[in-house]
Amino acid sequence: MAPLIKAAATSCALFAAGDFISQALVEKVTPYDARRTARFATVGALLHGPYFRLCRYSARREAGRKFRGRREDEETGVVRCRFAISSPWQPCSKLSLTFLGLLPCHKNKKGFDRLDKTFPAKTVTSVLAKSATAQLLVFPPYLCGFFIASALLEGKSFQSGVERVKTSIWKTFVAGSLVWPVKFPRAADSPLTEKESRTANAALAERVPGAADAATMSAAVAANRMETLTAKAWKRLETLTREREEGRREGHAQLVAQKAQTDKLTSHLEKVVLNQVMSTASRQTGTAPRGPSNNQDEDDIEPAVRSVTLVRGIFPGHVRQEPR
């Protein structure tokens, strides 16, 4: 609300001063017409100031933002904060020239701010294109409103104001176009993007400390530190993720090796026990060791089978060799 009131008050004072100078020094009107000055001041306060202010209005994201929550990106894991615009003058942004269909509309860019986005470069061609676009699309609607408002303040009808537009708008537009190159410095002063502004502030605070005030220095240092901390956090997260994956691979390889070694030891132990039992049976019978198919040795082989089964039950996953 404050910027809109400031723009209206500034236009009111300039219009009143301009009409006073015109009557006193240029036209030398006698007697002085105070009502005319009042009409010009009213037009400046109610039309000129709000009109061009609303053309420059972009939803003020720095003031009146309500926190709506946090949302984590599933792919990157980045937590993003969401805000809602709650400025009391947010509806005024819709009253810019976009409703006339003269300028393209953008979510948070209206009027002149949209021109800054359309012509971001600071070359001579871009400055000329931006100034010409503003002069052709923004100035004529204002002139129509100015002539109609002046006629209504004089007590005349709306149709009279329309007739005044038809007869005077072209001459006034040409006269105003003669001084439109003065807008070059404003057109060349295109706002930086958020990244460029942050980089410029950081460079200014780092290289030319005396050229920036305390607020700019603090903002630049804070932005620099935030970027540094963010980079360190991402680097640490990547390191932890890599170490965890390497640990998983190493653990899996160790499990596979242990299982292979266990199977090998179990098989070897089964063979040793079976050979010992068969040797004992052959010494007792005085014959060479025979296989399990020999009916005479079934009673001797049965303990061997029970021993192997016992070994498997005691050591299902691994087998320890007792020292001899």
> How much is the pLDDT for 225?
67
Whole-model pTM: value is: 0.41
> How much is the pLDDT for 319?
45
Residue 128's pLDDT band (boundaries 50, 70, 90)? Answer: confident
Comparing 214 with 162, the larger pLDDT belongs to: 162
> How much is the pLDDT for 202?
46
> How much is the pLDDT for 307?
56
> How much is the pLDDT for 102?
38
Max avg pLDDT among 38-42, 76-80, 120-124:
38-42
**In this model, does residue 76 exceed pLDDT 70?**
no
Comparing 107 with 291, the larger pLDDT belongs to: 291
Rounded (10°) angle between helices 158-177 and 139-153: 140
Which residue intervals of the chain are DSSP H helices? 2-21, 34-43, 49-55, 112-118, 124-137, 139-153, 158-177, 184-188, 194-207, 214-285, 298-314
**In this model, does residue 295 exceed pLDDT 60?**
no
Question: Mean pLDDT in the chain?
Answer: 65
- For 9-25, the pLDDT digits (tens) are 988 998 899 889 988 88
Comparing 155 with 242, the larger pLDDT belongs to: 155
Q: Which helix (H) or strand (E) holds 82?
A: strand 79-85
Distances (CA, A) of 153 to 34, 38, 41, 115, 168: 14, 10, 11, 33, 17
> How much is the pLDDT for 85?
39
Give the mean model confidence (pLDDT) for residues 31-44: 89
Rounded Cα distance, 175 and 308, in Å: 112
Q: Which residues face 80 on adjacent strands?
A: 71
Max avg pLDDT among 42-46, 121-125, 212-216:
42-46
